[in-house]
Amino acid sequence: MTTPSHTSWDPVAARTAGALYLAIAVCGGFSIGYVPMQIVAGDAATSSANLLANQGLFKLGVVADSLVILFELAITAILYHMFRHVGPKMATIALISRAGMITVMGINILLWVMPYILLTGASAPETVHTLVQFSFDAHAMGVFVWQLFFGVHLLALGWLILKSDVVPHLLGRGLFIGAFGYLVQGVVELTFTDVAILDYSVIALLVIVTLSEISFGLWLLICGGRTSPQFTPATA
């Protein structure tokens, strides 16, 4: 004889996490993907000029970055409570690694706003342009640092999904495999390694993980309130 059992699951929390995932994707895509492309150039003088010419866009990017951090704090806590009954140790690893990522993101915002402070508070001599470019370059490297933490988080989260009886395991596999895209890219960029096959592998893995993250967010938002029973043998 079998009896149905459910992984501990809060439908409201699941849908909230789904909404936060999608909000992070939108805000992060804007602040991390679009805004730097419009401002940061290959030389210090051009980057400084672009920043001064696009101050409104720059400030919107800072707002979006700040929202990402706030959303990340919320989703980190929610995911921990959703999956801690699946695997307490792995859920703790996921919590700590994502918290580490958030910490680096906070430092990265400071690096990002420093050029604005330098340019608007001085006459912008050549040394200021150099510091501006240094801050932008440091910010770019900071992204690869927090990717290492995020990669570990995705490995843990993927494992938890595969062990759960609620979330489709295909999403867990996508997150687990795709996590190596963040990890490999972080190591490659931070060690200044230039190997073509690694670049192609990173692109493929990042496509997998991006699709998996968006799909996971959509699943949580749309289907996260539904729980599927898993039948286990009843004890006498």
pLDDT in tens, 93-131: 999 999 999 999 999 999 999 999 888 875 657 678 888
How far apart are the C-alpha atoms of 122 and 62, rounded to whole Å?
A: 21
Indicate the domain borders of the chain: 7-225
Q: Note the pLDDT tens digit of each residue in 120-170.
A: 875 657 678 888 899 999 999 999 999 999 999 999 999 999 998 889 999
- Identify the band that residue 89 occupies on the pLDDT scale cut at 50, 70 and 90: very high
Instruction: Let me know: does 233 contact 5? Beta carbons within 8 Å.
Output: no
Residue range 159-187: average pLDDT?
94
pTM, two decimals, is: 0.85
**Cβ-Cβ contacts under 8 Å for 192 (sequence gap 6 or more):** none
Residue range 67-84: average pLDDT?
95
Instruction: Let me know: does 194 contact 156? Beta carbons within 8 Å.
Output: no
**Cβ-Cβ contacts under 8 Å for 2 (sequence gap 6 or more):** 231, 232, 233, 234
